[in-house]
Amino acid sequence: MTILSTPAWSQSISLPDNILPEDSGESSQQVQDTPRADWRSGTYGPVPQGERETMIDGLPPFGANLFTGGFRGAMGEGLNPAYQVKPGDQVTVRAWGAIELDRALPVDAQGNIFLPGIGPINIEGQNSQQVDNAVRRAITAVYSDSVEVYTNLQGVQPVALFVTGNVENPGRYAGTPNDSLLYFLDQAGGIDQDLGSYRQIHIKRNNETIANVDLYDFLLSGSIPRPQFRDGDTIVVQERGPAIAVTGDVHREHRYELLGNQLNGAEILNLARTQSGVSHVLLRGNRDDGPIANYFPIDLFAEQTVRSGDEVMFSADKRNETIVVEVEGSYYGPSRYALPRDARLNELLDAIAVPETMTAVQSISLQRESVRKQQEQSLEDSLRRLETTYLSAPSSTNEEAKVRAQEAELIQDFVNRARELEPSGRLVVASRNGIADIRLQDGDVITIPEISDSVLISGEVVVPQAAVYQPGMNVMDYIQSAGGFTNRADDDQILLVRQNGAVINASTSALRPGDEILVMPAAPTHNLQLASTLTQILFQIAVATRVAVDL
């Protein structure tokens, strides 16, 4: 580390010339003789057909959230330029000049409206513009001079459709002729997610299919057939067809239905939409010559054929050539550095300038995500063992049962609060022998602390506070200056937390400026075994979080 008394800046560390990209695997690999594991475990052995079907069925179908958008609450009025008139509708006709006419005329069963003094006009199947033209022609044919005509499609006859097949609630549902297919499906509770097809929906009239609907077109591009419904039409949702499972680093992790028995990788990429950084694809399934498990680079997958029952897992499986670490505290330079994967701590520190009189170079520490997860898992394991051991222990007498109940309440409250704590992931790298030259990992946070003139007193003291470090004062002197111990304190468990993250017993080491004096609580139980267990967990929490949990 460079010690400077005046500011200087270190911008970055250049990557060595001998760092080469890893083999990207420009051809697919056939994975053989690999023990089968869970789908998300990362092993690539073929999976028996029965279990593969379970995996596919366990995923939600693509489009599962389609009927949460409130289609049923958006019934249309049925009036639009393309609407075709049918019996039961009403048309307002107004004429003035040579004839005065203002009537709302119903369309009769033959599809006619009757104009007084003129006669019937057939308008069934015509749109609003065609109706206007037909009425205008009929009136001007009789009253050719100085007549004006206005028509308006005033209201449409409601219809009732049958919705059946693989829907949640088959039945007869009302709407207007121009309502969307989705409106009627939503009234029926949507498509059965386990059995229904999102790609094979038939609209039938008089036992003949008038339209076939593939909802994938609507989900991907917003396109959907808009037939004009008639009373008695039937919507039939067919049974789900062949399907594949797509999981991994994708935005749409779903079960996808096939129209045929196969599709290519490019179609899957369009459906699933991969996340950034995806580099490889695992394809597993069965073929005529047995099960397969192929691992492709992403650029070769587009041409692959995927068949019914296959599983496709996308993954970001190409290591980055660089890592990014963060630096905080007393130093000069940027807060983040891009380094080669094999960079070591001392190599970075040698390139960072620090102010000479302000920096505690012997107290550098490092926070690491993998360490934080280990601390979190270790604490969780300890808490689970505590629950298992003491919450399920039997009682032989009533007195013992009362004691057990009190202990159980204490333990459960302690466990709940302990689980809310976040381990720091602090890794102690500084010692008397210097700074350990460990290999850095992506996401590491290196702390270069300032020289401190204070001592922090916390935990089970009357008045937690920070005090100026004074040579000659010991730990007990500082505790007395903070009001002394609380009645919950364990005066045999006093810890020193160093600036470098180390946690040690105060009885075994001298106090230093920048230390934190952490007074631990005593376990409030006469059960010696339970008290010992709680004390161990309290120490574990203090090391991981630098917090003394109050019992």
Q: Is the dihedral of CA 337, 341, 347, 349 positive or negative?
A: positive
Backbone region of residue 183 per phi and psi (left: phi > 0; alpha: psi in -120 to 50; beta: other values):
alpha
Amino acid at 115: L
> Contact at 8 Å (CB) between 226 and 180?
yes
> Contact at 8 Å (CB) between 272 and 249?
no
Query: Mean of the pLDDT values across residues 355-374?
Result: 91
Q: Is the dihedral of CA 217, 223, 225, 229 positive or negative?
A: positive
* DSSP symbol at 49: H
Q: State the pLDDT at residue 356.
A: 83
pLDDT in tens, 313-352: 999 877 677 899 999 999 998 999 999 989 999 999 999 9
Confidence bin at 256 (pLDDT 50/70/90) = very high
Cα-based angle 331, 336, 339 (whole degrees, multiple of 5): 110
Residue from 351, 56, 65, 72 nearest 184 by CA: 72
pLDDT in tens, 112-126: 999 888 889 998 888
Give the alpha-carbon dihedral of 284, 286, 291, 293, to 10 degrees. Answer: -20
Phi, psi of 181 (to 5 degrees): -55, -40
What lies within 8 Å, CB to CB, of 85 at 6+ separation is 91, 107, 111, 123, 124, 125, 126, 127, 131, 153
Q: State the pLDDT at residue 77.
A: 54
Buried-exposed string 150-176: b where 16+ CB fall within 10 A, e elsewhere:
ebebebbbebebbbebbbeebeebebb
Helix (H, G, I), strand (E, B) or coil at 366: strand
For residue 18, pLDDT beyond 50: no
202-211, 402-411, 426-435: segment of lowest average pLDDT: 402-411
Neighbours of 515 (CB within 10 A): 25
Phi, psi of 517 (to 5 degrees): -90, 120
Amino acid at 526: H
Cα 119 to Cα 84, 101, 105, 485, distances in angstroms: 21, 14, 12, 106
For residue 1, pLDDT beyond 80: no
Distance in angstroms (rounded) separating the CA atoms of residues 471 and 479: 15
Q: At 401, which helix (H) or strand (E)?
A: helix 398-419
DSSP string, 433-493: TEE--PBP-TT-EEEEPBP--EEEEEESBSS-EEEE--TT--HHHHHHHTT-B-TTEEEEE
What lies within 8 Å, CB to CB, of 44 at 6+ separation is 31, 34, 282, 284, 293, 295
For residue 148, pLDDT beyond 80: yes
Query: Mean of the pLDDT values across residues 416-427?
Result: 88
Top mean-pLDDT range of 355-364, 415-424, 463-472: 463-472
Confidence bin at 531 (pLDDT 50/70/90) = confident
70-84, 86-100, 242-256, 450-464: segment of lowest average pLDDT: 70-84
What lies within 8 Å, CB to CB, of 2 at 6+ separation is 8, 10, 350, 351, 352, 353, 354
For residue 78, pLDDT beyond 90: no
Residues, the chain, total? 551
Residue from 464, 501, 503, 486 nearest 551 by CA: 486
Decide the pairing of beta strands 101-106 and 159-165: unpaired
**With 0-12 CB in 10 A as exposed, 13-18 as middle and 19+ as buried, what is 277?**
exposed
Amino acid at 106: P
Confidence bin at 73 (pLDDT 50/70/90) = low
Q: State the pLDDT at residue 87.
A: 85
For residue 238, pLDDT beyond 50: yes
Helix (H, G, I), strand (E, B) or coil at 201: strand
Helix (H, G, I), strand (E, B) or coil at 415: helix
> Contact at 8 Å (CB) between 520 and 497?
no
Q: What is the Cα 94 distance to its own chain's centre?
A: 59
Query: Mean of the pLDDT values across residues 183-198?
Result: 92
For residue 26, pLDDT beyond 70: no
- By 3-state DSSP, what share of the chain in percent is helix, strand and coil, each rounded to 5? 25, 30, 40
* DSSP symbol at 118: T
41-50, 165-174, 194-203, 415-424: segment of lowest average pLDDT: 41-50
Query: What percent of the chain stands above pLDDT 90?
Result: 38
Domains of the chain listed by start with CATH number = 46-61+242-315 (3.10.560.10), 66-77+158-239 (3.10.560.10), 90-155 (3.30.1950.10), 372-545 (3.10.560.10)
The residues pairing with 159 across neighbouring beta strands, listed in sequence order, are 175
Q: Which two tokens mark 140?
A: 């001007």
Buried-exposed string 414-447: b where 16+ CB fall within 10 A, e elsewhere:
bbeebeebebbbbbbbbeeeebeeeebbeebbbb
Confidence bin at 169 (pLDDT 50/70/90) = very high
Q: State the pLDDT at residue 52.
A: 55
Distance in angstroms (rounded) separating the CA atoms of residues 137 and 134: 5
> Contact at 8 Å (CB) between 271 and 256?
yes
Query: Mean of the pLDDT values across residues 19-29?
Result: 40
Q: Which two tokens mark 74?
A: 């958006």
Query: What percent of the chain stands above pLDDT 70?
Result: 85
For residue 528, pLDDT beyond 80: no
For residue 245, pLDDT beyond 70: yes
